[in-house]
Each structure stands twice: as C-alpha cells, then as structure tokens.
Amino acid sequence: MRNVVVGGAQMGPIQKADSRSQAIERMISLLDQAKLQGCTLVVFPELALTTFFPRWYMEDQAEVDTWFEREMPGPDTQPLFDRAREHAIAISFGYAELTPEGLHYNTSILTDREANIVGKYRKIHLPGHSEFDPERDFQHLEKRYFLPGDMGFPVTRTMGGIFGMCICNDRRWPETYRVMGLQGVEMVLLGYNTPSVNSQRPAEGPADRLFHNRLSLQAGAYQNSTWVVGIAKGGDEDGFPMIGGSLIAAPDGKIVVEAKTEDDELIVHACDLDDCTFGKKTIFDFARHRRIEHYGIITEQTGVIEPAE
Ligand code: CDV
C-alpha cells in the first residue's frame, strides 16, 4: 500500500476586489482542516490566488501584470508555504507566472512535504480568444494574457509515487493524460475555473458542464490507470458563476469523492497508488498493446482532414 491522503481544497469565488492575502488566508484555513483530517497532500484550483482575471479585458500591460506573481514563494505566498511545512503537507496550486524574462504563463506547482517546489507545469491548451469579443456575454482572454506552456507534461517522483499536473482546459484532451500515462503517472493534479454557462451554447446549463467535467476526469483516470484529482473554483465571481464539482477519480475511473457545495470545501480521500498497478499491467499495458504505427496523425496534424467526397 502506498497511501497519499489527498485533500481537494475547492475554493468558492474570489472577487476582483479581493487581495492575495485574503485568498491565502482561506487557503491556510483549508490547510488547517486538511491537517486535522490527516492529509499529506492538498490540491488547490487554477489561478488560486486571484479572481479568474482573464474574463476582464485589459489593454494596459502594467495593469495586466498586477495579476501575476514574479516569484514563488513571494511575500504574499510565503505564509502558505510556511503553514504547509509546519503541517508536513505537500501542496499544489495554480497562479499566473511572470518570468524574469517577461514571459507570462498560467502555471501550477507541486511541493514536497517540506514545502520545496518539486514540480512545475505551464498550461498548454489555452482556451478563448485574444481580442475583445463583443458577441460574448463574457470574455475569456487566456490567449491574450498567457503564452502556451513550454514544458510539455512533465511528471515528478515524490511522496513514493509519480505525479503530474495539468490545468483546467487541458483536462478535456486525452493527449494530456496519455503523455503523462506514458511516463507512468499515478496521480494527476489539476485545478479549474469553468463557467456554469456557455455563452455560445445557451441551452447548456450547469448540469451539462458538470457532466463533461466528470466524463473528462473519469476517462483520463481509467484510460491511463491513474488517480485524477480535479479541484475547482466555484460560485459567483462578480456575477460570473462557476461550476465547482471538485472530485477525485480512482484508476478504475470511478469517482471516490465529490464536492457538495460551490464554496470553500475540503474533499478527502486516502488514495493508494498501488491501485494503479492492475490497469497498468492488464488492458492498459501500453508496452504490449499500443500500436504506434497507426497513431502518427495525432502528432502530425492539428485540424481535421476529411476524406475526399
Ligand atoms: N479556465 C479554463 O480553461 N476554462 C475552460 C472554459 C473556457 C471552457 C474549461 O475548459 O473549463
């Protein structure tokens, strides 16, 4: 048995006017709850330190940069790292990263139980658009504010297992999980900010969006025989509702725990990394069964090329 007691720290809304310190106070309170419940790893959402700012159109780069972290940990985030070290809890959370070279990424990190950063990931599948779109009820400007990640999908050996990360929209792409699956991943950690409504498909409501969240996470878990921990920001951020629905999916694809609210809420499960072994040795024994000679177009083309009429 290789148990990792995972706390999924869903966060309710963070309003535009809320400070980093307010968000971090809430994260520390979730860490304290996690300690009481015996957690050894706590996972927080995408862009956990601020509101989901890509919904706001900004032209002034200096204003944009106020949403980014230039160092990690920095003065605001140090107390979170200190508390995590005190509790001997590894943490993973998302934030907007501004590098010393002036590059902007939507990033997440993983620490060990001594609060040392041992893993980093920069979001690859950036949804949305880069210019103001008057047709939309709300903007989704990730392509304006972030570069696509430049690190691939790395995995990290820590806490007795193999851990990987992805961020929000990445979770809808089977390639995300498979690239980590091919590196033996045993637990995928991901945070998300998903609106409850789709302005381009008004008939799609929160139930549909929660269904697609479960479908993506459960399929990624089952098809790679890995734990998947998906943690949301939920509730109403300045009038923009988000789905919540944080969950942990087991390597057989089943949901073992799911959030009940759209607020700050800790979901907890003792995840045995040895549960990954059966699937990785049988139906998803990649070395024996994959037929890469037939998969070429997956990496050779992006769009769809239909057969001639
Ligand atoms: N933050 C995200 O990546 N959100 C997307 C929305 C735009 C659909 C998601 O896939 O949930």
Any domain includes 8: yes
Task: Look at residue 203 in the predicted model and tell me its pLDDT.
Answer: 87
| Residue of minimum CA distance from atom 10 in ligand 1 | 169
Query: What residues line ligand 1, using a CB cutoff of 6 Å?
Result: 46, 127-128, 140, 168-169, 172, 192-194
| CA nearest neighbour of 130 among 116, 140, 119, 144 | 144
pLDDT of amino acid 197: 86
Sign of the CA dihedral running 259, 247, 169, 307: negative
Q: What's the CA-to-centroid distance between 145 and ligand 1, angstroms?
A: 14
pLDDT of residue 204: 87
Burial class (CB in 10 A: 0-12, 13-18, 19+), 63: exposed
- Annotation says 120 is catalytic: no
Report the half-sphere exposure of 2 (CA within 13 A, side-chain side).
13
Within a domain: residue 305? no
CATH of the domain at 55: 3.60.110.10
Counting ligand 1 atoms within 8 A of each CB, the residue from 168, 190, 200, 243 with the most, and so the one to mutate, is 168
For residue 308, tell me if it sits in a domain: no
Per-residue pLDDT tens digits of the chain, which is 309 residues long: 999 999 999 999 999 999 999 999 999 999 999 999 999 999 999 999 999 999 999 999 999 999 999 999 999 999 999 999 999 999 999 999 999 999 999 999 999 999 999 999 999 999 999 999 999 988 999 999 999 999 999 999 999 999 999 999 999 999 999 999 999 999 999 999 999 988 778 888 899 999 999 999 999 999 999 999 999 999 999 999 999 999 999 999 999 999 999 999 999 999 999 999 999 999 999 999 999 999 999 999 999 999 999
Specify if 307 maps to a domain. Answer: no
Residue 133 lies in a domain: yes
Nearest atom, ligand 1, residue 167 CA: 3
Q: What is the pLDDT of residue 133?
A: 95
Residue 79 exposed, middle or buried by CB count within 10 Å (0-12, 13-18, 19+): middle
CB atoms within 10 A of CB 281: 11
Is residue 68 one of the residues assigned to a domain?
yes
Whole-number pLDDT of residue 239: 95
- As given in the structure block, the two tokens for residue 282 are 């049988």
Q: What is the pLDDT of residue 55?
A: 97
Assess if residue 309 is contained within a domain.
Answer: no
211, part of any domain = yes
The pLDDT value recorded for residue 137 is 84
Give the Cα separation of 224 and 217 in Å (integer): 11
Sheet of strand 104-111: strand arrangement = 117-122, 104-111, 90-98, 41-43, 3-10, 265-272
Q: Is the distance from CB of 112 to CB of 161 less than 8 angstroms?
A: no
Question: How confident is the model at residue 201, as a pLDDT?
Answer: 83
Strand blocks (E) in 27-160: 41-43, 90-98, 104-111, 117-122, 155-158
CA 148 – CA 133 distance, rounded (Å): 21
Question: Looking at the 3D structure of the chain, how many domains does it have?
Answer: 1
Range of the domain at 170: 3-300
Q: Report the 10 Å Cβ neighbour count for 160.
A: 12
Q: What is the DSSP letter of 135?
A: T
* Catalytic residue from among 168, 262, 271, 276: 168
**46 catalytically annotated:** yes
What is the pLDDT at residue 152?
A: 98
Which one, of 146, 148, 149, 145, lies nearest residue 60 by Cα?
145
